[in-house]
Structure 1
Amino acid sequence: MESVYDICYLHNEGMMAAAQKNWTYIYDNLGNEIHCLKHMHRALNLEFLQHFFLLCSSSNNGFLSWLDVSLGQEVLQTKTFKGMLNVMCQNPWNGVICCGHTNGTITMWTPNSKKAVLSMLCHPQAVRALSIDPSGKYIATGCVDRTLRIWDARNVGDPISSYRLPGGIDKLSFSQTNFLGVSSRNVVEVYRNVGIQEKCDLYMRHHSNNAVTGLRFCPYEDVLGCSLYDGYESLLIPGSGEPNFDALEANPYISGTGRKETEVKALLEKVPSDLITLDPLSIAQIDVPTLEEKLEAKKKLHWVKVPKVDIQPRYRMKGKSGSAQRFKRKSQMKEHEKREYLKFIKEKKETLRGNMTKEKVFQQPKQHLLDRFKPKKRKVD
């Protein structure tokens, strides 16, 4: 008997998370309560990052929270200072969370930073709906002034296309084949060729008996699900689903044993949350300026000279400050200073080489079975 604002599945269909009135709960496929997440307070939207095993929630008081489902630990909870976060979605390509705000901007967040990694002004008024296609290339935003804009997520700048719709936009949803579903009160419109052409083609239009509150395409099926105030409708949209599925990625005919093996494999291949960035390809790149600085510092250390040491020993009484004694003590102190400096240079070199020791291990050649009959070499003193 509590209001439920959002529901999302976790790594498989056996577990789901529900954002209820006060806290977020996790249930199994039989409806049994497994966990109660009290730090996700008054959540409005839920998103599950599949490859990172992270559950993200946006709350009514402007907080974003990330929870590691595999370990049960909270990764980060930060305040956005943007008001109520009722518009949120994830970018499936890089795992970045996108939020729409009342000032017409969308912000992108990662669990590695307490500040937004990107802020973009999309509309002059509040953003009502937000959706990103499965490839992570295009962003669709809807505003209260009845404008729909398509943006390129890889090169943020001017919008690719902009449309003026007859009614206000409530929900947006991308399909696997770049079909875009738009709901406006009780009207549902489907556009195709989103991002490919400057103007999207209106593919289908449907009038419902009541206002549409939710919109989502069914993966690998030509079905668009619409939730209404008083029920649910399924719309057939030919060509909206991916016809060929990868059994290693998502297998609808998987058995119980295969589901367990897939879950263990996914846990072993879990990507750490520290690797979530706007450009995931930058992880495999080389930081050329930093590498050049390290090489230059290493070259300088190879040709460094021992500095000249000018030491004046203190005067000693009882005949211990003669010229011979002073020269001997001065030489010992200079030698000690040189050794300390060379030791410091050696530690610097090892640090630049990645804390690798300079000791070389010489492997002895493999002995043959008949080597015992060879004459032994005598040691020469």
Structure 2
Amino acid sequence: PPKRYWEETDQRRPEEEQGTAVQNQNKATVKERSLKRKDGESLEKKDPFPGEAPIPHKQLQKFQRGEKYKVPAGARRRLKEAIISSEAMSELAQKQAARYDLLLPEDAGFLEGDEDEDTNTISQDDIADAIDITSGSKYFNLHLSQFGPYRLDYGRTGRHLLVGGKKGHVACIDWQSKDLMCEMNVMETVNDVKWLHTEAMFAVAQKRWLYIYDSKGLELHCVKKFNDVLRMQFLPYHFLLATASATGFLQYLDVSVGKEIAAICTKMGRLDVINSCRENSLLFCVTPGAGEPNFDALDTNPFRSSKQRQEWEVKALLEKVQPELIGLDPGQLSKVDQASFEQRHKEHVEALGFDPLAKDKFKPKTKKKGRSSAGAIEKRKRKVAHEDQRDEIRQTVQERTERDKEQKEKSNEKKKLGNKSTLDRFRK
């Protein structure tokens, strides 16, 4: 008779029996591991390199953000906490920038010739033949032989090129796509050309006045206050166009409102050289400058779309820096204006009728057993007053000694410089 399933005996193959044995063994090992974890034993291997990877000191110095700000003596707790947190954030940003610098493989290019080969003899065609196809596609020639000599300027993104010839030829080109944006002849002398905050506008210093054009070549504005301009510099974070003229005037034009901010007579005659410092936006009538190929895409992106350009322009206008903040020391922006603070504090005291920052007067505690008599209380008040007076005297004496020390050092330096002759620099 046929057997039912409940009557069947366990007749397995040897391979199946071996598989079940392995499964049981695996279960046992998993169980052992879980038991060991419960006992607090760690089965994971220890990291041979614990903590963050060290950063080379030279790499950190490259992204250093100036000297650390010292907490002033007698500062309040909130100010101390703010300074400590800002310094910690600055240090973290410095370390992150040093670590992420490895992700920027681009480096400043250079020419390296063979033995006994002068790099001056290497032509542009030789370089174009030696480089890869992608870089070679960026190589192009502009044959500008009729209306020169030329002045040129690249936009902040590095994508748009503006050229201006002495005999009136002005053109702007998108050199990556090789598209000619506009080309015209202004029919008079062109001294300099300069892009403004965006590639939609540029300034041309012509023979008599300063002109503003758009990227299609249409004249937007003629600034007759800026005459005989020879050289120009644009400060993008202040939206200021600085011009140097043949009459010796240094003038500033706020392009966001079309208004002249300042006109300075340098009394140095003809000004035909001008350059700006990127760190503090100061202008110099001397040329040395250099550029690195790594760009900040959040600030100047050569591959941005028209919508991104519009958004950047709105954001830049909102974050425009006032021209009054241009100074020799950019670190002054993080310091407290003591004069204005004192004035605001005085007005606050007059409005409230009392000084909220004033130190509370000493109120002696009452003591038992007749020790809180009027004479004992007065003695304690005088003692505390004398201690406060001593602290003030110590502080003034310390400040005076430091001032005297600085004056002595300055006088010693002046004496050293006074003993030297102008001919000393020619001595060996």
Q: Going by fraction, where is helix more abundant, 1 or 2?
A: 2
Q: Whose relative contact order is higher, 1 or 2, with alpha carbons under 8 Å and at least 6 apart?
A: 1
Q: TM-score, normalised by structure 1?
A: 0.41
